[in-house]
Structure 1
């Protein structure tokens, strides 16, 4: 417990001094951890007849960069929700369940689709995908990822918005999001593999 308290104190001090940098670093680190877990599981439990896949450090770097970019954006979004839908009118009032429900609703109908779209676009650009491949990625992955998001994140964000102080909401959501990043990482890698296979087939035909 002492270690957790020390880490929490260091994080709070860093957030107070440099909020955007702190959120970017924390979010990027946790996003990278999610991809490390995804690649480790892929290696430990390969598909039948699958060749051993070497660890892709560049893929983890891409997840780190995406997390760094999204951290301050999510932080600003949380501030917007905090001020637009206050849970209490004063320190002694009870928590407004209506305001809490509005926070979750707007988070899932506005930020969730934007976040998934930014993830697919950012990953595609960093991977060097063509415009047609980016469109294919969106077409194949956007709605499955969004539907999966709605099965998981409303409950997590309900806890986050209700109980977590504002500075800790991004780290909390991204800590829960390690498993979400695992899902996105596997989903994105599967689509990349399919696109790479199709590209090789086209090159063979053209040759």
Structure 2
């Protein structure tokens, strides 16, 4: 009798938990979408840096995990997340649908407008967080912008084709951030390339 009651209560608890998680997810990806997008962007920027630092530790380029560096990389996700949230919202309003013509327009805008803005925003944020002088910022821009933009062309056109064609608009930035995790590792590498 008691084992039947325990199984029943366990089923009820799982059902209630599942219902609560579904409601929370619906709120996160509708009512609080911008906060969700920014939170995901900051978190995955930090995770990308942690992965890159682990690689650098294993290869003896750095002695230990630099928490300040990870915190700075997480903070770079803040403006990128905000830009991405409004960019995708704007793009889907101005170019609705999934036709080939719409897809090509979105891909071109993404590569020629959003990518340079996002990369520049990242580099400006890093310069601000590191109290870089204008000369240091200018040198970093020359050294890093092109490397990041070339990598962007390798990663993003196929990823964004999938995003714009298959992914629901409210999940676009989530998808972008998941794909961006690998790009964030590379971004951290480029930003902290001491060679």
Q: Does 1:142 align with 2:125?
A: no
Distance in 2 (CA, whole Å) between partners of 1:8 and 1:178 is: 25
User: Which residue is equivalent to 2:35?
Assistant: 21
C-alpha distance in structure 1 between counterparts of 2:86 and 2:171, whole Å? 13
Contact 1:33–1:178 (8 Å) recurs in 2: yes
Contact kept, 8 Å, 1:27 with 1:67, in 2: the verdict is yes
Q: Is the 8 A contact 1:24 1:72 kept in 2?
A: yes
What RMSD in Å do the two structures reach over aligned CA positions? 2.2
Contact in 2 for aligned 1:12/1:167 (Cα 8 Å)? no
Which secondary structure does the structure 2 equivalent of 1:129 belong to? coil
Query: Does residue 1:124 correspond to 2:136, yes or no?
Result: no
Q: Which residue of 1 aligns with 2:87?
A: 77
Query: d(CA) in 2 for partners of 1:6 and 1:30?
Result: 25
Q: What are the equivalent positions in structure 2 for 1:21-170 lying under 5 Å apart?
A: 21-46=35-60, 50=61, 52-87=62-97, 95-170=98-173
Taking the aligned partners of 1:64 and 1:140, their CA distance within structure 2 comes to 22
Over 3 Å counting, the alpha-carbon distance change for 1:164 and 1:9 in structure 2 is farther
How many equivalent pairs are there? 180
**Cα deviations across residues 64-86 of structure 1 (Å, max 9, x unaligned)?**
11112221221111111111111
Please say which structure displays the higher CA radius of gyration. Answer: 2
Segments of structure 1 that go 5 or more residues without pairing to the other structure are 88-94, 195-207
Q: Is residue 182 of structure 1 aligned with residue 158 of structure 2?
A: no
Distance change in 2, residues 1:143/1:20 (3 Å) = same
**Structure 2: segments with no counterpart, 5+ residues:** 1-16
> For 2:63, what is the secondary structure of its paired residue?
coil
Q: Please list the CA deviations of residues 120-169 of structure 1 after superposition, one character each: whole Å capped at 9, or x if unmatched.
A: 11111101211111010001111121111111110001101111111111
Partner Cα separation in structure 2 for residue 9 and residue 74 of structure 1: 24
- Which residue of the partner structure matches residue 174 of structure 2? 171
**Normalising by structure 1, what TM-score?**
0.80
TM (norm. structure 2) is 0.85
